[in-house]
Structure 1
Amino acid sequence: MMQRGDRTAREPHPDPYAKHINMYPQSNIQHTKNANTQNSNSAPYPIDDMGQSSLPPPVTSSSNVRPPMLMKNTDASMSSLSFHLQNLSVNEQKKESPKSLDPYDVPFQFKDEIQSNPSPQKPQLNAKRIQQEEKIGTSQDAVEYRRLYELIIKDTPTFTPTLQMQWCETLLLYSFKEDFIANYNINAEKLPRTLNSSESIKNQKIFLEHSFKVLTKLIQLKYPQAIYLMGTLYSHQPYLQGIKNKNIVSKNDLKALQYYMKAANLNHSDSCYRTAISFEYQKGTPPTCAKEKCLQMSLQYYELGAQLNSQACMYKLGMAYLYGLEKEPTLYPARDIRLSVSYFQKCNTAQSNYELGKFYEQTTLPIPIQNDLQSQGIIRDSNLALRYYHESATKFNYPLAQWKLGHCYELGELSLPIDAQKSIAWYHKAATPRDSSQKGNPMAMLAISGWYLTGAPGVLKPNYNESFQWLYRSEKISEGKLPRVEFILGSYYANGIGCDRNLNLAKIHFQIAANLGFLRAIEALKRFN
């Protein structure tokens, strides 16, 4: 059975390149504003950093994630005490003359072998169309598209790169807006009727081909953002979320790296990051490029990006000088604690603040790094550790830091008082996705499951159904990568905790945990044999 405080786990990732390539949105790291707070005498930030709010909402009745079992009824019920989780009181390049195409400007081909369509007619604004639109009305998408379209018409003689780049991106994005493609042509005119499926596909091709004509011209002008966009399309890792997973061109890591390098050499910071990532994990690198050389190239581009104020590059440099590239300490570069701290401080992101918290907590770091920290005069400081964790959790809304605060309040770590209410509230915040693109933190879900299993006097009564549901959700989100989750879920099935007893399912989850090296699962499997 799960014990309180015995629920930490490390989440591996099968493809480090895919994990890191989109670490940050393109040069725009958004975060929430930090709420105004009063300092406490007993902690470096307010102890009363959680308002009163409701318990984690039951997942047995509302969750879309359902286990393949009937739930067992229990007499346990949720406490009427509420925590209001929403009320946290913590709360342009010069235009160059076109030159001959170099190897990076080789004409592209669409993945589905799109053939050239007749070029769209030169856009014309006319009173009749405007009158028609006033009569029919337009969607917000159409209004925004038309506004940009009219600017592009005026810009045709000059071809301003920044504006044309926006036009190129808009054409790419709108080509996958099904409702727009079915009702409007590329000249921003509303069609007399809604197109059928095959007609919409033809219309979509017109949008795509025109976007690539604009893109090609921008690349010929050596406009860095356009070169970068082409690289992201070839790597199937676009920064435009609206075309994610659309695979507009055939995947080609070699061409992607070539475009990234070209844009990076024009001082494009996002391209520096992607070039460095590609070299670090040898995506698109020539077979003749030895691993050591690739790592040296990676470090050079991280450093160039850092000089261009790329927060992603600064963070990666902080990690590189701490753990080595590819997080292998025996690899290049040599560990430099003070340089690592410096890059994390300059970076000032969710992840870097979390890492700085670990620096000053120290006990969660590998022993060799702890020794290096102490030899460099960086001593353990609970106040500083909490300050960085709190900054990451509140200002940047970072789920891992929120989980950390929940963990500290649960066990009274880093000089914080044990407080079940605040622990549960922070865990729930970490487990709750901020938007549809996120899944929530599975370790926090596991922790909430633990609270429902044991209960908290005066705060939360045990509820085995809820405990099982949160555990089941954690397992689905972590996709079999957290051995402790797999082991505990196996134990629930083996003992019928919040679910029907099922030894076959128990053995399956014990086996997954055992395959990941979890010793208690290996011992549990022996009892099945």
Structure 2
Amino acid sequence: MAGQQPISPRELLNSSATSYLITPLPTIATLTTLLATVQQPTYDPAGQVSWCRDVLSIADKQRGGDPASTDPNAPLPPFNYDPSLQRLIDTALPMLLKLAARRKPMSSFMPGYVSEAMYLCGVYEANGAFPEHIAHNPQGAFSRFESAAKGGYHAAWYRLGSDYERFGDNAHAKECFERGAKHDVPSCIYRVGVAWLLGQLGFPGSIELGLPLLKEAAGLATVDTPEPAYTWALILLNEYTAAPVSPALLEPHLPTGTSPAAEARTYLERAAYLNYAPAQLRLGRAYELAEDPFPFDALHSVQFYELASRQGDPQGDMALSKWFLSGCEDVFDKDEVLAYELAERAAEKGLPAAQFAMGYYAEIGIGCAQDKARAEQWYSMASGGGNADASERLQALSRSRTLTRQEHEQITDSQLVRKRTQARMRSQAGKAGSAPSDGSSEPSGQPQQPAAAPPPRQDRPDYQGPQTFEAMGIHTQKLEAKNSECLVM
């Protein structure tokens, strides 16, 4: 982009500029447009369930938090939804209850829309999110999940298996996961694959038997179950620390002529396309630091960080703050006020690295007035969260040793700008060495197309249960550990 006018950072944070990087998701506006239509008595009941599912998916996202990190049977606290969304919720839940009740008492056959409606009712009966519509009743919810699974909604096997696993009944958990896996439920295939890999649920540890299942689950990843694609990428990149896999074991699972890094890129971009924040963060870092096989591309780095930020991920906020702290030559200007705002947003979410950044910004006066007392408050919060740099700054401030603007510029240049400049030079050198013999060159910075998604499926496991990365031995806080080393890495 040499010679071009740099983009304004605030202009860069434009959702329309990143729309091609993620799969389209339903919105309140589109669902509201369909409201009158889906309420018609003659409307397809399967379409009604789909509409209700989308409404409740938006509600879950608006509530925030990570359902996988909590007990899905614990009652959720009251929450004030956007009024326009609340109107849709008040239509969707009664509609689901009516659809779930359409099963004929003496018939063993259950229409697919009935079993899915039963499952969705069970999700909200288990967590009590909408007591005005469905009372909190975990035991009743379990019965709904069982009926839904046996009635043909196979994603319910994952929820059943997760509940059994949480109860300590590994034998039944294993049976449920295997039954779901036989019906190509991605979450079940993934759980069985991890169990083989790590020797869980009574499976003997076997990398050889776990890898094919994990690869299969990655290929079936959906918006509701994007983790398998991300995990497979970590395995290919040798970043799956719970069970490192040797290149020799990976080789049979790679397309001919493809390197593990190139294949990992495909799955990282797929997981990011499915709106999975950890993959978006990982891609943002890969483009920022030109990690093989990615070129240096400041624009795409910011775009992927912004996608994670848009989902409420504080690490995405902090990564953007660090980009806009210095800007990028010929791409976008620096904006210290925006850097401050983004760090503040991440700090308020409890990210120690961001709390350190707020102390640092207040100490020097970056994007705000210089305020030593405020700096000490933020540093104390960050230090309490385990940030060692914050503890050092507190000690320095106690000796009246305050950082100057000149020192800040030197730190930024040596630790942020230089690292990115080196990444750019490394990327350009690699591009020159691999240029086609006809003198043409590939467009720089254009991400590969995500792996083609499978046909739309009806398995949408809303509850992730013990299928968190931490529970599986996958440490997704690796980025946080790196970011906490220093504000300007």
The TM-score bracket by the shorter chain reads 0.5 to 0.7
Amino acid at match of 2:370: R
Whole-angstrom CA distance in 1 between matches of 2:92 and 2:304: 46
1:416-464 CA distance string (max 9 Å, x none): 3333333233333443x3xxxxx34432321221111122222233321
CA separation of 1:377 and 1:472: change in aligned 2, threshold 3 A: same
Determine helix, strand or coil for the equivalent of 1:400: helix
1:8-45 CA distance string (max 9 Å, x none): xxxxxxxxxxxxxxxxxxxxxxxxxxxxxxxxxxxxxx
CA separation of 1:504 and 1:307: change in aligned 2, threshold 3 A: farther
1:337-394 CA distance string (max 9 Å, x none): 33433223222223222222211211x332x522x43573559832222232233334
Amino acid at match of 1:373: S
1:356 aligns with 2:309: no
Check the 8 A contact 1:233/1:247 in 2, yes or no: no
Whole-angstrom CA distance in 2 between matches of 1:225 and 1:88: 30
Aligned partner (choices 278, 288, 291) of residue 410 of structure 1: 288
Q: Determine the structure 2 residue equivalent to 1:101.
A: none
Whole-angstrom CA distance in 2 between matches of 1:416 and 1:211: 45
Check the 8 A contact 1:168/1:215 in 2, yes or no: no
1:493 aligns with 2:362: yes
Q: Determine the structure 1 residue equivalent to 2:243.
A: 369
Q: Determine the structure 1 residue equivalent to 2:177.
A: 302
Superposition deviation, residue 315 in structure 1: 2.9
Return the TM-score normalized by structure 1: 0.52
1:391 aligns with 2:270: yes
Superposition deviation, residue 465 in structure 1: 0.9
Check the 8 A contact 1:483/1:512 in 2, yes or no: yes
1:34-80 CA distance string (max 9 Å, x none): xxxxxxxxxxxxxx9xxx99554269xxx9xxxxxxxxxxxxxxxxx
1:57 aligns with 2:10: yes
Amino acid at match of 2:344: Y
Q: Determine the structure 2 residue equivalent to 1:252.
A: 137
Superposition deviation, residue 467 in structure 1: 1.0
CA separation of 1:88 and 1:210: change in aligned 2, threshold 3 A: closer
Q: Determine the structure 2 residue equivalent to 1:44.
A: none
Whole-angstrom CA distance in 2 between matches of 1:302 and 1:311: 10
Whole-angstrom CA distance in 1 between matches of 2:352 and 2:216: 35
Whole-angstrom CA distance in 2 between matches of 1:276 and 1:430: 30
| Aligned positions of 1:39-54 closer than 5 A | 54=7
Superposition deviation, residue 505 in structure 1: 4.3
CA separation of 1:247 and 1:341: change in aligned 2, threshold 3 A: farther
Q: Determine the structure 1 residue equivalent to 2:208.
A: 338
Alignment size in residue pairs: 335
Superposition deviation, residue 306 in structure 1: 1.3
| Aligned positions of 1:77-226 closer than 5 A | 85-86=17-18, 141-146=35-40, 149-150=41-42, 163=45, 215-216=100-101, 218=103, 220=105, 221=107, 223=110, 224-225=115-116
Greater relative contact order: 1 or 2 (C-alpha under 8 angstroms, separation 6 or more)? 1
Amino acid at match of 1:388: Y
Q: Determine the structure 1 residue equivalent to 2:468.
A: none
Check the 8 A contact 1:490/1:507 in 2, yes or no: yes
Superposition deviation, residue 208 in structure 1: 8.1
Q: Determine the structure 2 residue equivalent to 1:313.
A: 188
Determine helix, strand or coil for the equivalent of 1:228: helix
Q: Determine the structure 1 residue equivalent to 2:305.
A: 427
Return the TM-score normalized by structure 2: 0.56
CA separation of 1:304 and 1:171: change in aligned 2, threshold 3 A: closer
Whole-angstrom CA distance in 2 between matches of 1:456 and 1:171: 44
Amino acid at match of 1:145: Q
Q: Determine the structure 1 residue equivalent to 2:442.
A: none
Superposition deviation, residue 311 in structure 1: 1.7
CA separation of 1:140 and 1:253: change in aligned 2, threshold 3 A: closer
Q: Determine the structure 2 residue equivalent to 1:446.
A: 318
Check the 8 A contact 1:260/1:274 in 2, yes or no: yes
Whole-angstrom CA distance in 2 between matches of 1:53 and 1:272: 52
CA separation of 1:484 and 1:338: change in aligned 2, threshold 3 A: farther
Whole-angstrom CA distance in 1 between matches of 2:134 and 2:144: 14
5+ long unaligned stretches in structure 1: 1-47, 64-81, 92-138, 152-161, 175-203, 238-243, 283-290, 326-330, 434-438
1:462 aligns with 2:313: no
CA separation of 1:512 and 1:259: change in aligned 2, threshold 3 A: farther
Superposition deviation, residue 502 in structure 1: 3.9
Q: Determine the structure 1 residue equivalent to 2:403.
A: none
Whole-angstrom CA distance in 1 between matches of 2:264 and 2:121: 41
CA separation of 1:226 and 1:442: change in aligned 2, threshold 3 A: closer
Please tell me whether Structure 1 or Structure 2 has the larger radius of gyration of its CA atoms. 1
Percent identity, aligned pairs only, is: 22
Query: Considering only aligned residues, what root-mean-square deviation do their CA atoms show, in Å?
Result: 4.4
Whole-angstrom CA distance in 2 between matches of 1:172 and 1:420: 37
Determine helix, strand or coil for the equivalent of 2:155: helix
Check the 8 A contact 1:257/1:275 in 2, yes or no: yes
Amino acid at match of 2:212: S
CA separation of 1:211 and 1:452: change in aligned 2, threshold 3 A: closer
Amino acid at match of 2:286: C
1:169-208 CA distance string (max 9 Å, x none): 999999xxxxxxxxxxxxxxxxxxxxxxxxxxxxx99998
Amino acid at match of 1:463: D
CA separation of 1:514 and 1:271: change in aligned 2, threshold 3 A: same
